[in-house]
Every structure is written in C-alpha cells, then in structure tokens.
Amino acid sequence: MQLASGQLKIQANNPEQEEAEEEISVEYNGDSLEIGFNVSYLLDVLGVMTTEQVRLILSDSNSSALVQESDNDDSAYVVMPMRL
C-alpha cells in the first residue's frame, strides 16, 4: 500500500508472478507512506466489519495498524505490517 495526499495505491502479487494494482481516493493528508500487509489478515478483519468505509490508523511503515469502522469506535482490530 502506498499512501499519499488523498490517494491510496494498492498493489498485490503472488508467487506465480501475477500482479494487480488499484488506486482509491481516501481522506489522508500526512506524509507519503508505503506499508505492506498480509492480505489474508486484512480480509479477516474486513470480513467482520459491517460498514462500507473503514478507518486505518497508521503511525509509520514499521508499526501496527489499527482498523476501525468509520462510524463506530466500539471495536478495533490490530494488524501487523510485513517488511517490503
């Protein structure tokens, strides 16, 4: 994942050399940041959420990420990053 002002670029690849890339508009105004996650862990978290929008709270590319529903602070999920 590459975050820049107002934009999130998601890149994925697998051992068979297949790749995918998507750009999404987001509410982000911090410094540019590149961070990687195991997609299975992210999908597990997103699978239990009931909203279409989520909040991803990051401090840097080496620290854990906090994932919350955008309109509900009752639950939070922690996902550890992978080294890129």
pLDDT of residue 30: 86
Report the length, in residues, of the chain: 84
Check residue 15 and give its pLDDT.
Answer: 85
φ, ψ for residue 31 (rounded to 5)? -70, 155
| CB 21 within 8 Å of CB 2 | no
**In what side-by-side order are the strands of the sheet with 19-25?**
19-25, 7-13, 2-4, 33-34
pLDDT in tens, the chain (84 residues): 999 999 999 999 888 889 999 999 999 988 999 999 999 999 999 999 999 999 999 999 999 999 999 998 889 999 999 987
pLDDT in the model for residue 84: 76
Specify the CATH number for 2-79; select among 2.60.40.10, 3.10.150.10, 3.30.420.40, 3.30.460.80.
3.10.150.10
